Amino acid sequence: MQGRWTRVVRTPLGLTATVLVVAVVALAVLGPVLWGSGAGAVDTDAILAPPSAEHLAGTDNLGRDILLRVLVATRLSIVLALLAITIAVVCGLVLGSAPFVLGRRSGRLLAAGVNIAVAFPGLLLALFFAVVFGVGATGAVLAIGLAGAPAFARLTQTLVAGVVARDYVAAAQAMGIGRLRILVRHVLPNIAEPLVVNATIGAGSALLSFTGLSFLGLGVQSPSYDWGRLLYDGIATIYVNAAAALVPGAAVLLAGLAFNLFGESVAKGLGVPAGIGLGAVVPGRRAVPVDAPAPAGRTAAADRPSDVVLDVRDLEVTVPGPAGPVRPVRGVSFDVRRGEAIGIVGESGSGKSMTALAITRLLAGRGRVDAARLEFLGQDLLAPDTAVRRRTLGTTLAMVFQDPMTAFNPTRRIGAQLAEVATHHQGMTRRAAAARAVDRLAAVRIPDAPARVRQYPHEFSGGMRQRAMIGMGLMGSPALIVADEPTTALDVTVQQQVLDLLTAIRRADDVALVLISHDVTVVGEVCDRILVMYAGRIVEDLPAADLVTAARHPYTRALVDAVPDMTTDLAEPLATIPGRPVDPADVPRGCAYADRCPLAGARCRAEDPPLVAGPDGPPGHRVACWHAGEPLPAPAGRDYDELVESP
């Protein structure tokens, strides 16, 4: 908490704003005490005098010093603004949280009322209330306060709705805790921060609105004066002494800015962690494999079989983090042959999705990619992007993403989104491209494709969208499909259809597939070879057929055993992996899995094991473990899961 607030003050903008706010408040407290009498002193010899050494901003029509009056007016201006914003926040809080307490029906009515009121601009409401409450300071405070209430009510409503949708509120309701109590205990503490920030910004706006009303002659009346009143008087004499209008104007502006900037920097300071910048990233380098010796016999280009579609050597991804650069992918090497299906499995944070984005060069701006080699169909993907390469990739490399709900542009028709590929890369006419889109949708078994191309993504079900996404990849003639968790968001029966479709395409056209998933059973079913990733590295590379029976890395074995399937022994507890996955920002020395591994010894904590084929194992089975294949000890009894400090 404390740290976040000090962070606000540390930014140059935040510091300026804080200093300004403190200065304005100090002036409000001290101004009338110090200059109260001077500001009231009438000097008939110097009526409407222009700025001079004696009167820095000149005098008004009674010969009173403008500058002193502006300084003294600080208190009234600030106090009135704060009163008004208090009224606005209190009314808004009550109106905004009432729907939750009142429940469905009356709540909805209240919310509808707020919705209508919030559509009307504050100034209009303020004018209305100014008529009702009469011209003068009291009327103006009430007018600006009440006029600001709908906006705060709406804000509160939105914030409350956000918290109420969380399950902890549902849990509290299921416990039988009353709504008012839930509001006080669970809702208000969680919306306090944004409310305070907005109230600060609101104070600045209230100050400006107040000045507006006073400027119109509807606010503070003589002989009292705030900045708006001084401005009103100053405008009348602007041709004689412009400073009489400009100085109070500048004061208002400065004070309004102080509150606004303070609120904005607090909002920024509380919302996003500071210090993220690409400047912190280490300078890029190309291909220096230090800690990961490439497997023998696989390095030289001449040795590469010609049917390699994708060739990845020592891939590294570096992204900026709050405490310096983080490397979520640390030296990944593999190749994919024509028609081959590779599965990449790992838990969240293992770097598998980063790998997918890196090998397809879709990381854009989020980090840098280094590799000894990154080639797709013999083309160097590390080279700068060109139109020619875009065309090649656009027609031969297909992507399928995790969430079919968000992967299509919601404002364009499905057909147009497919056709785009053909018009851009294959030089087709619109008509030909549209026809091809229909054909491709039919190919991925979307019924009634001619009508479906005219629909928008939201009119498709999740499974159909995912198939349309695959169809989009088939607009060209792909050599490789990279599918990142393509079925995670889908139901099981739909998942099966999508997996079957991918398999069918692969079989029919000899298309290679890289399937990324957290689910070992899914990749085990679809793929020929499986890469298991942990903490940004491949820890095991094995044939899918060996996954259940012959996995050698303790992590792979635990991963397989932890997932129940339809044949799991009901008498035995499931395997578990103690501890937490490694934080990419803090990868330990040696084997990253050592802390969670029952086999780990001193060597594991000191030396990172290379990914190599076992001496007695088949060459296609590589594993990075000093204790590969050793029997695992029986799981420990019931002990505590120790709390881990989160990053």
Partner 1 sequence: MSELRFDDVTVRYGRTAAVDGVSLAVPPGAVVGLVGESGSGKSTLARAAVGLAPIAGGRITLGGVPVPARGRSRPLQMVFQDPYSSLDPRMTVGASVAEAMPPGGSRADRRAEVERLLELVHLNPACAGAVPARLSGGQRQRVALARALAARPRVIVADEITSALDVSVQGAVLNLVRELQRELGLSMLFISHNLAVVRYVASHVAVMRRGRLVEQGPAARVLTEPGHEYTRELLAAVPGRTTRRSRP
Partner 2 sequence: MSATFIAPNPPAGPAGTRLRSRPWARFAVRRLRRLLISLWVLVTVSFAMIHLIPGDPVRGALGPTAPAELVEAQRHALGLDDPIVVQYLHYLKGLATGDLGTSLVSRLPVADVVAQRLPATLVLAVLAFLVAVAVAVPLGVVTGVLTRRGHGRRTELAFTTTSIIVATIPDFLLGVALVYVFGIELGWLPVAGNDTAPAYVLPVFSLAIGPAVILARIIRVEMVGVLEADFVRTARAKRLPARTIYAGHALPNAVTAALTVGGLLLSALVAGTVLVENVFAWPGLGSTIVRSILTKDYPVVQAIVLVYGVGVLITNLAVDVALALLDPRSKIRED
Chain residues 343-362 in contact with partner 1, contact rule CB under 8 A: 347-348
| Closest to 100 in 3D by CA, of 181, 214, 31 | 181
From 499, 501, 515, 532, residue interacting with partner 1 (rule: CB under 8 A)? 499
Q: What DSSP string runs through 260-325?
A: HHHHHHHHHHHHS-TT--GGGSPPP------SSPPPTTSSSGGGS-TTEEEEEEEEEEEEEETTEE
Work out how close the CB of 8 gets to partner 1 at its nearest, in angstroms, rounded to a whole number.
20
341 near partner 2, judged by CB under 8 A: no
Per-residue binding string, partner 1, 536-565, x by CB under 8 A, is ---------x------------xx-xxxxx
| Closest to 100 in 3D by CA, of 176, 168, 163 | 163
Q: Note whether 156 and 97 are within 8 A (CB).
A: yes
Chain mean position to CA 357: 18
Residue 124: left if φ>0, alpha if ψ -120 to 50, beta else—which one?
Answer: alpha
Q: Closest CB to partner 1 among 166 and 298?
A: 166
Work out how close the CB of 418 gets to partner 2 at its nearest, in angstroms, rounded to a whole number.
9
180 near partner 1, judged by CB under 8 A: no
Give the Cα separation of 500 and 445 in Å (integer): 11
573 near partner 2, judged by CB under 8 A: no
Residues 603, 606, 611: CA angle, nearest 5 degrees: 75
What are the start-end ranges of the H helices in 403-553? 414-425, 430-443, 449-452, 462-473, 492-509, 520-526, 547-550
On the question of a cis peptide bond just before residue 223, with omega within 30 degrees of 0, the verdict is yes
**Window of 182-190, 228-236, 448-456, 610-618 that interacts with partner 1 by CB under 8 A:** 182-190
Q: Closest CB to partner 1 among 211 and 487?
A: 487
**Window of 68-76, 85-93, 122-130, 577-585 that interacts with partner 2 by CB under 8 A:** 122-130
Q: Number of residues in contact with partner 2, rule: CB under 8 A?
A: 93
Work out how close the CB of 586 gets to partner 1 at its nearest, in angstroms, rounded to a whole number.
15
Per-residue binding string, partner 1, 41-60, x by CB under 8 A, is --------------------
Residue 550 has a CB neighbour count (10 Å cut-off) of: 15
By a kind-dependent CB cut-off of 5 to 8 A, residue 419 interacts, out of partner 1, partner 2, none, with none
246 near partner 2, judged by CB under 8 A: yes
Work out how close the CB of 4 gets to partner 2 at its nearest, in angstroms, rounded to a whole number.
19
Q: Which helix (H) or strand (E) holds 545?
A: none
Tell me phi and psi for residue 456, to 5 degrees: -95, 160
By a kind-dependent CB cut-off of 5 to 8 A, residue 556 interacts, out of partner 2, partner 1, none, with none
Query: Site residues for partner 2, window 258-287 (CB under 8 A)?
Result: 260-261, 264, 277-279
Q: Closest CB to partner 1 among 580 and 589?
A: 580
| Closest to 356 in 3D by CA, of 365, 337, 369, 373 | 369
**Amino acid making up residue 51:** P
Work out how close the CB of 422 gets to partner 2 at its nearest, in angstroms, rounded to a whole number.
10
408 near partner 2, judged by CB under 8 A: yes
Per-residue binding string, partner 2, 384-403, x by CB under 8 A, is ---x--xx-xx---xx-x-x
Q: Closest CB to partner 1 among 383 and 492?
A: 492
| Closest to 562 in 3D by CA, of 621, 520, 512 | 520
177 near partner 2, judged by CB under 8 A: no
Query: Site residues for partner 1, window 145-174 (CB under 8 A)?
Result: 166-168, 170-174
Query: Site residues for partner 2, window 191-230 (CB under 8 A)?
Result: 204, 208, 211-212, 215-218
185 near partner 1, judged by CB under 8 A: yes
Query: Site residues for partner 2, window 475-494 (CB under 8 A)?
Result: 493-494
Name, in order, each residue with C-beta under 8 angstroms of 48's C-beta and a sequence gap of 6 or more: 58, 59, 60, 61, 63, 237, 240, 241
Q: Closest CB to partner 1 among 130 and 513?
A: 513
Q: Is 527 exposed, middle or buried (0-12, 13-18, 19+ CB in 10 A)?
A: buried
Instruction: Give the chain's length.
Output: 647
Give the Cα separation of 434 and 453 in Å (integer): 8
Catalog residues that contact partner 1 under the rule CB under 8 A: 166-168, 170-177, 185-186, 189-190, 347-348, 491-496, 499, 503, 518-522, 524-525, 545, 558-559, 561-566, 568, 570, 573-577, 580-581, 638-646
